[in-house]
Structure 1
């Protein structure tokens, strides 16, 4: 095969001519020699061979033509590629040497990069985008428009979840080379919102990566006819992306260095002005460096502290613990240590310090143990005070828990006492005072009454005692008790009364003041051997929030003080810590129940007051009770004398009680007074009786707490059936149904279980005699 197509054509023509000559010779030979089939056959074979060779030559000629054409295209592509490569090398040189990139001027550097990219690749638009830290948004940092040779303000933000295939493609292949961007599966989701409005037909994008993580994208966008992208162009945009990544990294480093400088400056200022101080201690326990704050904390100057050994400045009792921590820190430099100790102050007092640090003996620049030291003297004092407050709070919680238990026990106990007391009284009435068992019944009644007193003290402690508060003058109430108190404590003890004139009024059940005075004066009497003195005084007191912060049981505000003091034997701290606990007593067996002070505590708490006790062995005791000042308009009431009323009657009474024994004994006691009694063991039965009864029902006596319905709701349900019906509630303890924290609601009539026949008769008559129901 020749290298020239014309020569090849001549050769083919010569072969054809030769073929024709051979055929002619063969035909002549046949004609001359006669019909010789063998010669003719050879001629045919030769003719076919020539045709085959001719076709082969024609096919070779076609291939050669195609090769020459491809060779020409490749040569042209090579020349174009060399031109692009030259442009790209020049562009990279521009990028590397550009002053804005070298200096780290990121905004201008990005503008130059997009300008050079657009010019080198010959595209209409070039832009750089930054991915947000959470990888949810792309922010356009710069956009260059080649035709206008201008940079457009770019505030565009794309949500990555809007174009998932596009971003998946970038992450998967680092680049996107979309010749037909409108139909390419990687970019067609951009068509409606981005490509079509801007006339973009082809795209060449490259991801910007840092340590394998996508942080941005360079976008080159072509408008007009679709464009095929070359491999060298893809390689070039990847190089540009690397330069941008380095630019971002340099900017981050610059900012980090700037932050470091700012941090170092802040640290220097903090070290200088911090209340904590820094110390570097050598391996032999000598202070090598002390920051200025140490002067304020210790009172010593830096010069005085520097060079001091730890043993010279730490309390002898603490040095062992400090050195143990020190040795541990030296052995394990990877650990951070913490230790609290007492440090000598220049005033020769001990202050509490806390050191937190780590061994840096292996660091040549430090070669010591670094510690941050804080003055925690105030904190330690506060912790000690807090511990004290926690103990007080725990005591209050314990008292509350015991109170709940005591209240529950008293409730059940009262029910049984009611049965015992009622039957004893009925039996005494039947036998008469001359009966053979009357004295036995009298002893039973006395025991029941004594047990009743105990349960009432328990209820008072548990703040379940039923009370009817009145606005009183405390001085007047106490003055009425003085004569009885003097007889009670005896002639050998001097009673001193120191009332404060103009005392604020208080709201409390007067009987509770009597209980407080009797119990506290009894304790004072028992604490005095032979001669002594008991002082009762009143005053006004005001507490602010600062005081109450240190005394959690106290409340800020205005209070009336009742103080009872004696000069008896006093008490130690152990006794004081259990003083108000039920059944706690220091008296001999049979001399006290241990409920008196518990009852006083419950009364004070029930009336929103507080109590403070101060005592020392052989130095006497003072109880100070603070009751809230009453600021309402209610008139002051003195202790009124009870007017006697007739205890018998003829009215009809509906008695409701879910405890069968109490229901039975109460019915007998009421009937003994002449009343007609209807009994019911449930509220539902009581309502049915009221509906069926043809006569008038004058009074409802009901237990407060019952299954299905409480006493107050029962009274409401009976009101439409029995107009004018009066109510008397009874219970073994105060329920919130008729009282709040033991204080009866307005207009409520109540009798505490257990009750005597006389108490019940008097209370019934009193309720029935009221003008209004």
Structure 2
């Protein structure tokens, strides 16, 4: 409201002086400071000078020509602050210049000032505010809806209080600057403390952005790190961008922040909308970008945006640059720590992942370091327990340790030193040690470091390989001898059979012939065992269940074992089938049973077990001859005297025996070995002196699931006869004559030849049919197989029967190229020969 007495007093010049007015205003603001002062000032000025409007305005950035009011009094009461731009307003003539007074018609003078029109302002008085250094701070303004009647008085009052307002505004700014500086220092201190611990890059960025935004209140903050491959700036953390994608990527050539990345210097953009690299939607105010840089390496950029253009001050620039340096150092440290951790991880991965034991020990036996492979190799529960152990006590042979130390003292390095160590669980293993001595400056050995490789499996396989080579060599020798013996036994046994057949039982010569025949048969059995060992024995494999063999042999085994040995069987109900010769499998079981019986002279137990076993890597590593797949296991365990390691090295060798002279041929286990090998299997033996022995036979699982019935003995009959023509080819004269003497009395026509070429000539000179080719396989002038191919091509109806002192395996590789044939292994009896010939001719 207007004070009617005011102008009355002015008209009476002496009734109220300028001093009185100043005194009244001064009293109203005397005790006030800060915001209260400004609000009291505009109120007192408006009431005392009878003005409709009074306000104090501040221009924070003179270059922006923008006013923000601090205190406003309008129409008799305080009003809210507002902002406006200086251009085309009466304030433009005041700010930073001089006091201006427009007693009336101010709207006509400034027609583009919409505020004057909206509030109906007629008169205006404004005073500029300067700091102590003469820098423009703002302005003090009073306005009235009617013309001024005493403009000189108003301008004098305003001029006086403008100085007081300027002083207070300067003090206010200094306080604000000090507070901002304190906040900035606090923010930097807190940021440094928060990032001083070891953190991930992502966590550093998150904490930095959160701390800066919470403490300093910037509108939008984002931390971006460079993608080394693409050059993209990838956002790691942000505040104030709720719609920003989780992994916001700004590619090269986009966004104003790229300038800071390329130059390595802070970049200020007063209005991002005016920038050429502006990306729509990425802000609308000012942007300050500070590179995250250490030692000329730019790792990323700190992006800070305001809501309005031209919003950043020098203090902001200094603060954000310092903050970016703190963040960059933290990121650099994090990357260095990460690099160290990765290197350590690679080292530990290599150290613990390498499949050999690594160690570091002192000369007196203290273990300084060991990897996980060594822990497992030596069967310790953990690394801590191993480090407390004394490696000197590991050596089975202490002399090996002394020898190792002597080599190390002389050479400072030991390579491929093989020795035996005793694991914590008592198991003895072979190792290969390679190590070096690390010396101090005085040349004394400080510690050893090296590697231990477990070569136990290698040693085992090496022994198996050497044994297999030895057995193979003996087998080849045995097979050659057996072939020659078979020819001789064929003649001896056949003639003995024929003599005995032609003599009456009362004739003394009949008994002599019987003894010759029995001796010859025993000799043939020995040769058969030699052939079994050398895997040259004739076999007729069929798909069968080993349980059936064991059950069928129950009575026989009990008779063989005698009353003092108890027989027990544990047979798997779901046992897989195998493909093997049933007669050979019976021979294996009998031989093992006899061997077990002889190892239990005072009686004991014999246990037969069967089981299924899928062959895994652990089993394969222990058996040189094993192949991956499923196996059936036949175990024969006795409670006998057991065997020493020295005996076990030779048990499968022909004629090796620990029995007294005359109590064994030494061919029992060698026969087992050969039969198992011939049937595609392998075996293992475990034995301890005084604890008994276990033999395990591993036979491959048969693909065919249908088992064949076991053969039953055939009743003896007379020699079958015939009238066909047979071409007999045999290089051994005695065998040839024997076969002729057997077949011709049976009605056959026998054409004789001593070799391949003679046989071809005989066949050429014989135009009549030849029904059967009966030929030896191995002959001096050519093989029987080549002869069979030629003659069968000439005579397609020709039947073929091979005979040999070797087994049928001699023909196995040529089976596909040969015409259909049969095989009879020497030695054979006349009855066997006659039956086989008749069988082939009738087939």
Q: TM-score, normalised by structure 1?
A: 0.55
Partner of 2:491, secondary structure, is helix
| Counterparts in 2 of 1:700 and 1:337: CA distance versus 1, 3 Å | closer
- Aligned pair partner of 1:749 in 800, 817, 822: 822
Partner of 2:535, secondary structure, is coil
Question: Which of the pair is proportionally richer in helix?
Answer: 1
Q: What is the distance in 1 between the residues matched to 2:606 and 2:645?
A: 22
- Aligned pair partner of 2:721 in 648, 658, 662: 648
Give the superposition deviation at 1:383.
Answer: 2.9
Matched, 1:485 2:557: yes
Who is 1:374 aligned against? 449
Q: What's the CA shift string for 1:253-280, capped at 9, x where partnerless?
A: xxxxxxxxxxxx99x989987857889x
Who is 2:776 aligned against? 703
Give the superposition deviation at 1:462.
Answer: 0.2
Partner of 2:591, secondary structure, is helix
| Counterparts in 2 of 1:612 and 1:352: CA distance versus 1, 3 Å | closer
| Counterparts in 2 of 1:321 and 1:397: CA distance versus 1, 3 Å | closer
Larger RCO of the pair (alpha carbons < 8 Å, separation 6+):
1
Q: TM-score, normalised by structure 2?
A: 0.50
Give the superposition deviation at 1:537.
Answer: 2.3
- Aligned pair partner of 1:631 in 678, 690, 703: 703
Matched, 1:461 2:541: no
Q: What's the CA shift string for 1:483-505, capped at 9, x where partnerless?
A: 22222322333222332112111
Partner of 2:550, secondary structure, is helix
- Aligned pair partner of 2:803 in 693, 705, 730: 730
Decide whether the 8 Å contact of 1:699 with 1:725 is kept in 2.
yes
Q: What is the distance in 1 between the residues matched to 2:731 and 2:715?
A: 33
Who is 2:134 aligned against? none
Q: What's the CA shift string for 1:199-241, capped at 9, x where partnerless?
A: xxxxxxxxxxxxxxxxxxxxxxxxxxxxxxxxxxxxxxxxxxx
How many positions carry a matched residue from both structures?
481
Decide whether the 8 Å contact of 1:690 with 1:722 is kept in 2.
no
Q: What is the distance in 2 between the residues matched to 1:325 and 1:628?
A: 48
Who is 1:545 aligned against? 617
Q: What is the distance in 1 between the residues matched to 2:425 and 2:566?
A: 50
Partner of 1:418, secondary structure, is helix
Partner of 1:410, secondary structure, is helix
Q: What is the distance in 1 between the residues matched to 2:551 and 2:371?
A: 63
| Counterparts in 2 of 1:533 and 1:589: CA distance versus 1, 3 Å | same
Decide whether the 8 Å contact of 2:543 with 2:705 is kept in 1.
no
Q: What is the distance in 2 between the residues matched to 1:341 and 1:561?
A: 34
Who is 2:354 aligned against? none
Give the superposition deviation at 1:319.
Answer: 7.6
Q: What is the distance in 1 between the residues matched to 2:567 and 2:495?
A: 43
Decide whether the 8 Å contact of 1:325 with 1:339 is kept in 2.
no
Q: What is the distance in 2 between the residues matched to 1:495 and 1:395?
A: 32
Q: What is the distance in 2 between the residues matched to 1:393 and 1:319?
A: 29
Decide whether the 8 Å contact of 1:571 with 1:615 is kept in 2.
yes
Give the superposition deviation at 1:326.
Answer: 6.8
Q: What is the distance in 2 between the residues matched to 1:295 and 1:610?
A: 34
| TM alignment of 1:419-434, pairs within 5 A | 419-434=491-506
Who is 2:436 aligned against? 356
Q: What is the distance in 1 between the residues matched to 2:739 and 2:582?
A: 29
Matched, 1:506 2:582: no
Decide whether the 8 Å contact of 2:437 with 2:449 is kept in 1.
no
- Aligned pair partner of 1:395 in 467, 484, 490: 467
Q: What is the distance in 1 between the residues matched to 2:587 and 2:817?
A: 19
- Aligned pair partner of 1:585 in 625, 639, 657: 657
Q: What's the CA shift string for 1:142-161, capped at 9, x where partnerless?
A: xxxxxxxxxxxxxxxxxxxx
Q: What's the CA shift string for 1:399-443, capped at 9, x where partnerless?
A: 111111111111111111112222222333444433343322222
Who is 1:163 aligned against? none
Partner of 2:648, secondary structure, is helix
Matched, 1:681 2:761: no
Matched, 1:603 2:675: yes
Decide whether the 8 Å contact of 1:271 with 1:278 is kept in 2.
no
Decide whether the 8 Å contact of 2:483 with 2:805 is kept in 1.
yes
| Counterparts in 2 of 1:438 and 1:560: CA distance versus 1, 3 Å | same
Give the superposition deviation at 1:300.
Answer: 11
| TM alignment of 1:76-95, pairs within 5 A | none
Who is 2:637 aligned against? 565
Q: What's the CA shift string for 1:356-406, capped at 9, x where partnerless?
A: 24767xxxxx343477843434x1xx1344333322221121111111111
| Counterparts in 2 of 1:492 and 1:698: CA distance versus 1, 3 Å | same
Q: What is the distance in 2 between the residues matched to 1:525 and 1:294?
A: 49
Give the superposition deviation at 1:685.
Answer: 1.7
Partner of 2:536, secondary structure, is coil
Q: What's the CA shift string for 1:504-539, capped at 9, x where partnerless?
A: 111111111121122112112222224433222222
| Counterparts in 2 of 1:585 and 1:679: CA distance versus 1, 3 Å | same
Decide whether the 8 Å contact of 1:738 with 1:745 is kept in 2.
no
Give the superposition deviation at 1:694.
Answer: 3.8
Who is 2:739 aligned against? 666
> Which deviates further from its counterpart, 723-732 or 422-431?
422-431
Decide whether the 8 Å contact of 2:538 with 2:809 is kept in 1.
no
Partner of 1:376, secondary structure, is strand
Q: What is the distance in 2 between the residues matched to 1:319 and 1:621?
A: 34
Who is 1:332 aligned against? none
Partner of 1:437, secondary structure, is helix
| Counterparts in 2 of 1:322 and 1:620: CA distance versus 1, 3 Å | closer
Q: What is the distance in 1 between the residues matched to 2:418 and 2:543?
A: 56
Partner of 1:719, secondary structure, is helix
| Counterparts in 2 of 1:552 and 1:277: CA distance versus 1, 3 Å | closer
Who is 2:547 aligned against? 475
> Which deviates further from its counterpart, 758-767 or 706-715?
706-715
Q: What is the distance in 2 between the residues matched to 1:387 and 1:548?
A: 14
Q: What is the distance in 1 between the residues matched to 2:447 and 2:544?
A: 62
Partner of 1:487, secondary structure, is helix
Decide whether the 8 Å contact of 1:339 with 1:356 is kept in 2.
no
For structure 1, the residue ranges without an aligned partner over 5 or more in a row are: 1-264, 330-334, 361-365
| TM alignment of 1:196-595, pairs within 5 A | 275=351, 321=403, 324=406, 328=410, 355-357=435-437, 366-369=441-444, 373-377=448-452, 379=453, 382-595=454-667
